Amino acid sequence: MSTIEDTIRDQIAKHPVLLYMKGVPEMPQCGFSAKAVSCLQAAGVPFAYVNVLAAPSIRETLPSVSQWPTFPQLFVGGELVGGSDIVSELAASGELKTLLEAAAAGQAQG
């Protein structure tokens, strides 16, 4: 029987770019999630998302899996990148687009 932790690890492994957020990209439910979505959309690389407000068990469990206490949480290539501030900083420096494109290309080759 799989646990919530197994589900989270499976989601992270399956999606090269995955955002755990409050709400959905079309309608974020907090300013930090909105900022992260905006950065990801500006980079132009498709991303998957999980609405933690609709999945309370994931919302409760993810911080202990990722060792990151807040949302949103961006995972790229199976690794935690960070939250809204880090995503914004990476977007401003141009590193986010490079990171996302590399993850997307890795999935295409895999």
Whole-prediction pTM value? 0.94
Q: Beta-carbon neighbour count of residue 12 at 10 Å?
A: 23
Asked whether residue 22 is marked as a ligand-binding residue, the answer is yes
Q: Where are the beta strands (DSSP E) in the chain?
A: 17-21, 23-24, 27-28, 48-51, 73-76, 79-82
Q: Beta-carbon neighbour count of residue 85 at 10 Å?
A: 12
Asked whether residue 59 is marked as a ligand-binding residue, the answer is yes
What is residue 105's predicted lDDT score, i.e. its pLDDT?
A: 85
Asked whether residue 30 is marked as a ligand-binding residue, the answer is yes
Q: What is the pLDDT of residues 42-85, one digit of tens each?
A: 999 999 999 999 999 999 999 999 999 999 999 999 999 999 99
Q: What is the pLDDT of residues 6-50, one digit of tens each?
A: 999 999 999 999 999 999 999 999 999 999 999 999 999 999 999
Q: What is the pLDDT of residues 78-109, one digit of tens each?
A: 999 999 999 999 999 999 999 999 998 886 65
What are the sequence ranges of the domains in the chain? Answer: 4-94
Judge contact between 53 and 1, C-beta under 8 A: no
What is residue 108's predicted lDDT score, i.e. its pLDDT?
A: 60
Q: Does domain 4-94 have CATH number 3.40.30.10?
A: yes
Q: Do strands 48-51 and 17-21 pair parallel, antiparallel, or not at all (unpaired)?
A: parallel
